[in-house]
Amino acid sequence: MTEITVDELHGLLASSPRVVDVRERDEFAGGRIPGALNAPLSELGDHVEKFQGGDVVYVVCQAGGRSARACEALEEAGLSGLVNVVGGTGAWKARNFPLEVG
């Protein structure tokens, strides 16, 4: 599984990376990486299209565990181009990087 740090992802924000947040809806609404889409891990099968399309997809959660599980499950289903964001939104917030809320 390919991984990236929050510092590396922050450096990519200007290029509008495709970020999918697998936290639950209430967690997502409480603060997310700008531009991120929500696909809760508990509903992953209903959101596969958010991970398709040939582009690299950065998968994030609170700390990196759920996003790693999502990457593994999606790779087993035949998808590629998935990158786990190590440290997740917890590390993102700790660095005082920008968040979208609501």
Per-residue pLDDT of 29-88, as tens digits, reads 999 999 999 999 999 988 888 888 878 999 999 999 999 999 999 999 999 999 999 999
Which three-class secondary structure string do you get for 23-88? CCHHHHHCCECCCCEECCHHHHHHHHHHHCCCCCEEEECCCCHHHHHHHHHHHHCCCCCEEEEECH
Q: What is the value of pTM for the model shown?
A: 0.94
Give me the domain span that covers residue 72. 2-94
Least confident of 17-26, 46-55, 91-100: 46-55
d(CA 51, CA 94): 27
Residues 101, 28 contacting (CB under 8 angstroms): no
d(CA 97, CA 77): 33
CATH of the domain at 28: 3.40.250.10
Report if residue 101 sits inside a domain: no
